[in-house]
Amino acid sequence: MRQRILSVFVGIFFTMVTNAQISEHFSTGNLPSSWGGETSKFVLENEQLQLNDTMKTGSAYLSTYSTAIDNGSWEMHLQMKFKPSGSNYVRYYLTSNSPILNEGLDGYYLQIGNTNKQILLYRMKGTSSKKIGESIENRIDTSSIDLSLKVIRGQNAEWKVYTKLNEESQFTEEFSVSDSTFLTSSFTGIYCKYTKTNANKITFDDIIVEGDGEEDHEHPTIKSFTPTDTLLTVQFDEWINEDFFQLSMNPQLDHTVEWNNAHNQLSIRLNDSMKNGQKYELALTDIRDFRGNACDTLLKFAHIDEIEAQDLLFTEVLFVPNRDGSEFVEIYNKSDMVLDLSLLKFSTRKSNDSSLYSAKKIASEPCLIFPKEIKVLTNNKEGVTAFYQCEESAFIEMSSFPSLRNETGAIVLFRSKDSLIIDNFYYEAAMHEENVPNKGTGVSLERVSVDSDEWVSSASINGYATPGYFSSSKTTRENGIDDIRFDATEVCYPLYGEEHHFQLKYQLDAPNYIATIRVYHTNGVCVKEIIRNATLSMDGVIEWDGTDNNGRALPTAPYIVRMEAINAHSGRRITRSFVVLISR
């Protein structure tokens, strides 16, 4: 009969707590796509699965998804056209937590053949196997084996092993043993060990697995993503079903895709070169395991450039957090290149000492920062987000974070391979404005501009910190800006669930302005104080919803909005007034 070489495909196999999880008789001429492993070493012939290793001496395995263990039953018909030995034998993996049967795993397997011509049951933990049951010696001491196997796992985790040679009329119980070390399973399969003369002399048929198992509704997750200029490697936490999996790139790059034998690692080889500074997105959709649990994900990658001094800048630091809060530092990619933060370390130093203290690696895996992007470093994201409005996607939670000194200190960013300083900042608590609350506790210092070395207290109007956001002090500013711009003429009350607020948009020539904004009736009575003695950022938006100081909607009328601001450093005063119409 013509041989059919098995292709490496994996199909869906839904998990259910039912019997008859597997019933494979190889009568359709094709191995179900739910089987995977070293499929190139097997063929289907005469409605049987046959070992056919062209590499001769070695080993080969196939595995498929199975949760059966409670009230479990495993059957198989096996032919070995040689006398089994310590170098030529078969393992029937009854349970396994891994689809890779030639590496370490946790589970149980039945071995057919050894130097004593026995059938044995082993418990495997990692790479160590322990024999827990065995047949009499010379049970399969014949020149050719035609054997039916059956293993039952009943109550109290009692394993019973039955066998029947072709010339025998009924099954014989070889042995029984109790072992409950492992209580769950994810895979079952076969493993062959052989010398070159026996590389095509093992066949399998009638593989039947029944039993109950633990139902799983968890979707697959990505353990790691490792991009290089020529290869993208995605590691999943479990076996992935290729039949549903889809992949797309933006911008598109010519590529080829390959899965490993365990179908939990995807290798994408790039045939096109990436452009410098270009952000690429890898969309993975319908990522399914064999239980049918699915998810989608979007990964980013790029050509990585060498990080040089001043490519990255510190733009914000919180060194005295609120109670139950966390310290953080913010870094900004000033360059036009994509950089990898895993190549850097973050450290501190005393203000009067050049020595670096408690240097910590920012990330253990590639961590990209794109041009003009901000990242926030901390050891506890929730300790920051609980107190401030944050751009949460900007956070990098470091496994270990250097402790920042409260009064005076320095933060340093440097290259791991040669300690080249990328940026450093010496700070003092005295750098805070005099009017900040609680002597600066919970107030960050922000760089005024990415083109400046001046730092100021984060504005109260921004909540005293802006982790992950471009506040006015993190942008490049033109000199000479001294105007306040208003962009609103009326306040409309909510209509059909929508809200319309008055907005005051402003730009200032410098930080450190302290402002008060009040609303007056045309008779001169103050009806609303929008802000009072608030520290402003260099530009921003202030909103008013048209209510008075008691939260009541003001009647239709023109009102005067007056803003008074004074710069805490220069003493410059700014006063602006204008009329706004409230209508409803």
Q: Is the dihedral of CA 417, 418, 421, 426 positive or negative?
A: positive
Rounded CA gap, 56 and 323, in Å? 67
DSSP string, 387-420: TS---GGGEEE-SS-PPPPSSEEEEEEEETTT--
Rounded CA gap, 404 and 399, in Å? 16
Rounded CA gap, 298 and 225, in Å? 11
Compute the mean pLDDT over every residue in the chain, rounded to the nearest whole number: 86
The CATH number that domain 222-301 falls under is 2.60.40.1220
Contact 194, 59 (CB under 8 A): yes
Output the CA–CA distances (angstroms, integers) from residue 51 to 46, 56, 345, 465, in the order listed: 13, 10, 52, 66
Reported as a single tens digit per residue, the pLDDT across 405-448 is 999 999 999 999 999 999 999 999 999 987 788 888 999 999 98
Sheet with 222-227: strands ordered across: 222-227, 231-236, 265-270, 255-259
Coil, strand, or helix at residue 262? coil
Which of 346, 393, 389 is CA-nearest to residue 368?
393
Q: Where are the domains of the chain?
A: 4-212, 222-301, 312-474, 490-583
Reported as a single tens digit per residue, the pLDDT across 461-490 is 788 899 998 754 454 444 433 444 545 444
For residue 155, how far is the Cα from the chain centroid? Answer: 40
- Is 239 a residue whose pLDDT tops 80? yes
- Is 494 a residue whose pLDDT tops 50? no
- Is 311 a residue whose pLDDT tops 60? yes
Rounded CA gap, 398 and 405, in Å? 18
The CATH number that domain 490-583 falls under is 2.60.40.4070
Reported as a single tens digit per residue, the pLDDT across 110-150 is 999 999 999 999 999 999 999 999 999 999 999 999 999 99
Other beta carbons less than 10 A from residue 513's beta carbon: 25
Percent of the chain with pLDDT over 90: 58
Q: Which of 422-431, 456-465, 532-541 has the highest mean pLDDT?
A: 422-431
- Greater model confidence, 34 or 428: 428
**0.75 exceeded by the pTM?**
no
The CATH number that domain 4-212 falls under is 2.60.120.200
Percent of the chain with pLDDT over 70: 89
Question: Given the DSSP bridges, would you call strands 408-415 and 421-428 parallel, antiparallel or unpaired?
Answer: antiparallel
Reported as a single tens digit per residue, the pLDDT across 282-309 is 999 999 987 788 999 999 999 999 999 9
Q: Can 4-212 and 312-474 be said to share one CATH topology? A: no
Reported as a single tens digit per residue, the pLDDT across 544-578 is 888 899 988 888 888 888 888 877 666 677 777 76
Q: Which CATH number fits domain 312-474: 2.60.40.10, 3.40.630.10, 2.60.40.1260, 3.50.50.60?
A: 2.60.40.1260
Contact 303, 339 (CB under 8 A): no
Reported as a single tens digit per residue, the pLDDT across 243-254 is 889 999 999 999
> Which pLDDT value is given to residue 244?
87
Which of 167, 184, 181 is CA-nearest to residue 129?
181
- The arithmetic mean of pLDDT across residues 345-370, rounded, is 86
The 3 state secondary structure assigned to 172-195 is: EEEEEEECCCCCCCCEEEEEEEEC
Rounded CA gap, 539 and 511, in Å? 9
